[in-house]
C-alpha cells in the first residue's frame, strides 16, 4: 500500500481526493473536487502547480502522469497518463490522453482534446477537437503561464490563511 506524499506547504481543499502513489511538491494547490488517483501508475506534480476544481488526474500501468512546475490545470480538465512540462496552462475542460506530452511554456485551449501520443512542442498554442498546434515558439505563452501560476500561488496563500469562510448549512 502506498500513501500519497503531499508537501506541507501545499493547499489541499477538504473536498479533494488524493489516492495512492502520488507525490505533490511544495507550493501546490489542489482545489475542491479534484481527483488525483494513482492506483495503476504513479502521479507526480511539480512545485507550484495547481489542480483546479473537478479535475481528474490518473495513469495507466507503465504510463505515469507527470506534471511539471508551475502548471495550471484548469477547471474540469482530465490528464490521463500524460507528461506536462513546466509552465503550462491546461485549459478548462480539456482532455490530455495517454502518452501525450505538452512542451514547456505551452497553452492547451479550453475544451481541447489532445490525442493519445501527441507531442506538443515547447511554446505552442494547441486548440480544438482533435487538438492541433496553431502557434509555435511563442514566448508570450510562457509569460501567460507564469502569470497564471502566480495568481494561483496568491490564491493558495489566501486560502491557507483562512481568508475565505465556508457556508455552513444549519438545517
Instruction: Tell me the CATH number at 30.
Output: 2.160.10.10
Going from the C-alpha of 120 to that of each of 31, 133, 163, the distances in angstroms are 26, 7, 38
Tell me if 166 is assigned to some domain: no
Compute the Cα dihedral for 148, 111, 140, 84 and give only its sign.
positive
In a domain, 63, yes or no: yes
Does 93 reside within a domain? yes
* Residue 168 within any structural domain of the chain: no
Give all strands of the β-sheet with 125-127 in edge-to-edge order. Answer: 11-12, 29-30, 50-51, 72-73, 89-90, 107-108, 125-127, 132-135
Read off the pTM.
0.95
In a domain, 21, yes or no: yes
Predicted confidence at residue 160, as pLDDT, reads 95
Q: What is the pLDDT of residue 170?
A: 75
pLDDT tens-place values along the chain, 171 residues long: 789 999 999 999 999 999 999 999 999 999 999 999 999 999 999 999 999 999 999 999 999 999 999 999 999 999 999 999 999 999 999 999 999 999 999 999 999 999 999 999 999 999 999 999 999 999 999 999 999 999 999 999 999 999 998 888 876
Domain hosting 62: range is: 5-160
Q: Give domain status of residue 170, yes or no.
A: no
**What's the Rg (C-alpha) of the chain?**
15
Domains held by the chain: number: 1
> What pLDDT does residue 65 have?
98
Beta bridge partners of 22: 43
Pairing of strands 119-120, 113-114: unpaired
The answer to whether the peptide bond before residue 130 is cis (omega within 30 degrees of 0) is: yes
The reply to whether 165 falls in a domain is no
The label of the residue with cell 495517454 reads 98
User: Does the residue 150 lie in any domain?
Assistant: yes
Amino acid at each position: 500500500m502506498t500513501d500519497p506524499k503531499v508537501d506541507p506547504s501545499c493547499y489541499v481543499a477538504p473536498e479533494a481526493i488524493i489516492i495512492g502513489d502520488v507525490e505533490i511538491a511544495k507550493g501546490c494547490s489542489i482545489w475542491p473536487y479534484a481527483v488525483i488517483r494513482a492506483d495503476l501508475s504513479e502521479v507526480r506534480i511539480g512545485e507550484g502547480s495547481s489542480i483546479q476544481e473537478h479535475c481528474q488526474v490518473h495513469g495507466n500501468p507503465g504510463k505515469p502522469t507527470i506534471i511539471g512546475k508551475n502548471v495550471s490545470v484548469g477547471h474540469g480538465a482530465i490528464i490521463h497518463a500524460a507528461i506536462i512540462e513546466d509552465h503550462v496552462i491546461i485549459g478548462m475542460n480539456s482532455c490530455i490522453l495517454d502518452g501525450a506530452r505538452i512542451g514547456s511554456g505551452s497553452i492547451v485551449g479550453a475544451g481541447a482534446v489532445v490525442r493519445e501520443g501527441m507531442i506538443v512542442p515547447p511554446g505552442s498554442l494547441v486548440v480544438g477537437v482533435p487538438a492541433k498546434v496553431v502557434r509555435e515558439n511563442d514566448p508570450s505563452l510562457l509569460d501567460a503561464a507564469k502569470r497564471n501560476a502566480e495568481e494561483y500561488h496568491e490564491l493558495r496563500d489566501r486560502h491557507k490563511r483562512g481568508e475565505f469562510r465556508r457556508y455552513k448549512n444549519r438545517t
